[in-house]
Structure 1
């Protein structure tokens, strides 16, 4: 029987894992009776996309080993292709993997690959830039921009930035069009979600389904400081949409005009300008899931 080739594209600085961990786990847990594999390590931002462009042409599966940023980079070359995406989550947030129920335990994630169960997932784009989990503007985009400039990475650094900036950040005015219906809003943040969470089980859009051809919009309105603990509790217990400070919408095409230059895609800071067009791309990515 001809073995199927898997290419593992590994971000070596994602999370706290060591390079040898993936090699040890693959040799221990991957079904080598049916799979051959190659491991390639990224060396710079955007490198995973370059590697995936070559890998998908001679692989039965391309696996992103890293966080949502690495998955985003690999996915860019698999959109609309028959070759599926596999995921071994080693990042700090792992929103996409958590949404699909892929374990952060490396051996369990590899077992998902062995089972080779393929589903078709939606993806989305902001001003033609791909995202797989969430995009948005407002406070989370402000934090993403600061985090991008930070010398230190990881959840603790991110949490410190949130606490530091929370009291000084001011809500912004937005003009929003959702499937040709117009709104004028003042908001602390606006998130457009393909997946239910940012990562770390922070469920910004708990009702989001990643293969229904619809994007979910969560708008957090200005709120008093005393309401913050309740909002945070709801964020981590899948109840944020029940808060009186939250409005939710659904749509396929979302246009946003805002006062800031900052936005984010999958938690990565971008500066796309003050006019945003966000589109869903239905069933555009084949992925391996439990």
Structure 2
């Protein structure tokens, strides 16, 4: 599994099989450009992480899938002492990260990969109940997790499932009590949700953190307290697609180096679009950790 120009890791079930269709095109284009490569199909959760941990660098990885697949690849790369360079190909339903790269189509993503220009991006280090992992996109708690959890059950509705899940939880909004520590500043209150992002986008092109920069050394934090009314929330949420939600006085938007969420009741988190781990959680930004073809 070594000494190739590229190692292609893909999730065959991402995007309802979209990754498998992309692979055949990618193989043809790499052959036409005289690149050598090896293809690794993931077979179980965590498989991409295992593969990336074992690859001997320097090596270039092309991850084909959604944000969940990208998360696994990045977690493996962070545990690999060799120098890995990561390229990404959109094959999932949302592909929030590809929106930040302005490469949501196959053509744009392939162009970024073969141009061979890299930048180092920040990574968020997470510690949940003494379990450490990494995130490159989003950590969501509260309503953000509720929406993602319900959207998973509505996969038959395609991308519209996020909108449907959001509307449902507007009318069934749930308050959560927690202590939040942002760069040593403590806040105890009732919250609707907290989002911690390294990227501008989340979900299907939502500009949750419009001021985020992939390598600025900060986590972008969006906080919404539960005191907001259902009508205000209903009017606010559509603005997340343009990023104008942060203009609301109801929304607190800050940049931070560290953040902890300690709720009265522990619940699962939305980590890069996947429901996993549980609060309490501590998050620390690790500046310029991963080399990305972009």
TM-score normalised by length of structure 1:
0.89
Contact 2:148–2:165 (Cα < 8 Å) also in 1 = no
Which runs of 5 or more structure 1 residues have no equivalent in the other structure?
Answer: none
State the match for 2:100 in structure 1.
Answer: 99
Which stretch of structure 1 is more off in the superposition, 220-229 or 184-193?
A: 220-229
Q: Secondary structure at the match of 1:76?
A: helix
| Cα distance between partner residues in 2 of 1:285 and 1:153 | 34
Would you say 1:82 and 2:86 are equivalent positions?
Answer: no
State the match for 2:71 in structure 1.
Answer: 72
Q: Secondary structure at the match of 1:24?
A: helix
Alignment of 1:100-115 (within 5 A): 100-102=101-103, 104-115=104-115
Please state how far the C-alpha of 1:106 moved relative to its aligned partner: 1.6
TM-score normalised by length of structure 2:
0.88
Q: Secondary structure at the match of 1:244?
A: coil
Contact 1:193–1:208 (Cα < 8 Å) also in 2 = yes
Please state how far the C-alpha of 1:229 moved relative to its aligned partner: 4.2
Q: Secondary structure at the match of 2:278?
A: coil
| Cα distance between partner residues in 1 of 2:237 and 2:150 | 21
| Cα distance between partner residues in 1 of 2:273 and 2:20 | 27
Which stretch of structure 1 is more off in the superposition, 280-289 or 163-172?
A: 163-172
Specify whether residues 16 and 145 from structure 1 end up closer, same or farther in structure 2 by C-alpha distance, changes over 3 A only. Answer: closer
State the match for 1:255 in structure 2.
Answer: 260
State the match for 2:221 in structure 1.
Answer: 217
- What does the per-residue CA deviation read over 1:84-103, in whole Å, with 9 as the maximum and x for residues that have no partner? 1110011111111111222x
Please state how far the C-alpha of 1:144 moved relative to its aligned partner: 2.9
State the match for 2:272 in structure 1.
Answer: 266
Please state how far the C-alpha of 1:288 moved relative to its aligned partner: 0.6
Please state how far the C-alpha of 1:28 moved relative to its aligned partner: 4.0
Q: Which has the higher helix share?
A: 2
- What does the per-residue CA deviation read over 1:53-95, in whole Å, with 9 as the maximum and x for residues that have no partner? 23x3166201110011000001112126421111001111111
State the match for 1:181 in structure 2.
Answer: 185
Please state how far the C-alpha of 1:248 moved relative to its aligned partner: 1.2
Alignment of 1:205-244 (within 5 A): 205-222=209-226, 223-244=228-249
Specify whether residues 34 and 151 from structure 1 end up closer, same or farther in structure 2 by C-alpha distance, changes over 3 A only. Answer: closer
Query: Number of aligned pairs?
Result: 284
Q: Which among 193, 196, 200 is matched to residue 197 of structure 2?
A: 193
Q: Secondary structure at the match of 2:36?
A: strand
